[in-house]
Amino acid sequence: MTSKTDATAPHALPADALVVFGATGDLARKKIFPALYAMFRHGTLQVPVIGVASSEWDVEQLRARARESIEQDGGEIDPSALDRFLSALHYVSGDYRDTATFAALQQALHGTQRPAFYLAIPPSLFPTVIGGLKEAGLAEGGRVIVEKPFGRDLASARELNRIARDAFPEDAIFRIDHFLGKEAIMNILYFRFANSFLEPFWNSHHIASVQITLAEQFGVEGRGAFYESAGCLRDVLQNHLFQIVALLAMEPPASRDFESVHRHKTDVFAAMRPLGVGDILRGQYRGYRDEPQVASDSDVETFCALRVHIDNWRWDGVPWYLRSGKCLPMSACEVVVQLKPPPQNLFGDAAGREDANHLRFHLSPRSKITLSVRIKRDGKAFVGEQREFSLLEEGSSEVSPYERLLTDAMEGDDALFTRGDAIEAAWTALETVLADPPTVQAYEPGSWGPSAADEFIAAAGSWRSPEVED
């Protein structure tokens, strides 16, 4: 698919510099520096990279941090590419609220025409930095790359969209969600619309329910302060899992134009029935309140399950069950599309059981698509057994999600980024439960969440746990 961006606009042309706000932070160390180095190694980034942060460092300290980050990442090291990347690094130290910081940045950019500004900083600082870029005249001709979460609710998302659009045109705002850069997530879109056999049964006449699980075996790992401000619902479900829902539920785009894809994804969020108190279950693993920078009486959820309904022609009556959490039995992401049983059970064995036929998308840690069916065993009796046929199985991609998305943003390709209206539509569906959430229920680390999770999905059967890889 291709993007339909106006090729005459500055943001449709490759950026001629990259500015990373938050260059001394944790995200830069863990994800951004390895991605930028890989871009230099693959030849997709050959422009100056300017780090900006409040840390009183010099450029040599930043380069040392970048080198350490890349070496610890464990990937292949090309000394020539590493030297080119480190030589391209520059640094501006200063307070984001100080106009002198942006004046120094302007000088460091040396008159570049199409800079890209990547905000790898806490969301509370987005308005400050975007405002500073506008006041300094740096936004003109540039583009901004904004890390999730984009807002905390509908009101804050609308306000952040207003601030961003006041400085940049909508198609120069790249709202980055690294989840959309994963190969397996991209394959959902391709698999759905490159194959004709899916369409006849991809509707409420044949699909009973859809489950999406994103499980993490680890806890908050020292990020207690962030989690206290976000929680599982905002951190994972509103963005990552809602994006999967949109790709699975959207109508076929009219063309290869990604503008059409964005529009149909937004239609899915707009058709979501507002969630009520019975459509959400919140949990918190025992021991979370003992984490550093977590309140002793915290009511923040580390596990969340949602029941979502999409009120349109295709999906009327089909429940979508979403769950995610920390300290679960494994780290994996998987989708199970449960088909309805045959209208008549002709055989006396388990052929009529509710889970006989399903399509399973294994999204991580490995990508695989499987179809579950019943087949007859050898012998005279009509007795069958369950089999799964693998439609796709592949190893991990060499290109990391951050490398893919940052490359696209630098090239001006907005295909894998989220539009402002889609974000607002997604927050709209959650307004009620965000304003008055149910109390969290405790669960043991290593379990699949609160015991009430089984009752939560009982109307559709039971949760299908992700398969363990051999």
Active site residues: 240
Q: Which residues does 407 contact at the CB level (< 8 Å), separation at least 6?
A: 39, 44, 45
For residue 257, the 8-state DSSP code is: B
Rounded to a whole number, what is the distance in angstroms from the first to the last CA of the chain? 34
Per DSSP (E only), the strands in 82-224 are: 89-93, 115-119, 143-147, 173-176, 207-215
Coil, strand or helix at 287: coil
- CA-based angle 456:462:467, to the nearest 5? 125
Report the SS3 class of residue 468.
coil
Structure tokens given for 361:
């998308």
Beta carbons of 287 and 296 less than 8 angstroms apart: no
What is the Cα–Cα distance from 200 to 188, expressed in whole angstroms?
A: 17
> Which residues, 6+ apart, have CB-to-CB distance to 62 below 8 Å?
23, 24, 51, 89, 91
Cβ neighbourhood burial of 8 (10 Å; 0-12, 13-18, 19+): exposed
Structural tokens at position 449:
């969440």
* Cα dist from 22 to 50, 67, 94, whole Å: 11, 17, 11
Angle at 280 between CA 435 and CA 449, to 5 degrees: 125
CB 217 within 8 A of CB 364: no
Under 8 Å between Cβ of 49 and 18: yes
